[in-house]
Amino acid sequence: MSKAFEKGTASITSTIIAMNTVIVVIATSLLFPQSIPLTNWIGIIIIILAACIISINQTKRHT
């Protein structure tokens, strides 16, 4: 994680690192026969959108 902070900005790096819970939730739902409640899907979508928005804002600042 410290290597990621050395190479990238903290705002996008911390958001991507926080997405590890999203990966676990989606992988668990695929591997085991359980459903994900609607509130969890809404949270997953918000986290992914936040990571996309932050990365778009960061690339616009550097160009």
Residue scoring higher pLDDT (46 or 14): 46
Task: Using pLDDT thresholds of 50, 70 and 90, give the confidence band for residue 5.
Answer: low
Residue scoring higher pLDDT (60 or 26): 26
Residue scoring higher pLDDT (57 or 31): 31
Q: Show the tokens assigned to 52.
A: 């996309």
Q: Residue 3 falls within a domain, yes or no?
A: no
Task: Using pLDDT thresholds of 50, 70 and 90, give the confidence band for residue 27.
Answer: confident
Number of domains within the chain:
1
Q: Residue 2 falls within a domain, yes or no?
A: no
* Owning domain of residue 22: 9-60
Q: Residue 17 falls within a domain, yes or no?
A: yes
Q: Residue 45 falls within a domain, yes or no?
A: yes
Q: What is the pTM of this model?
A: 0.57
Q: Residue 47 falls within a domain, yes or no?
A: yes
Q: What is the distance between the alpha carbons of residues 28 and 49, in angstroms, rounded to a whole number? A: 21
Q: Residue 39 falls within a domain, yes or no?
A: yes
Q: What is the distance between the alpha carbons of residues 55 and 8, in angstroms, rounded to a whole number? A: 11
Residue 50: closest CA among 8, 6, 18: 18
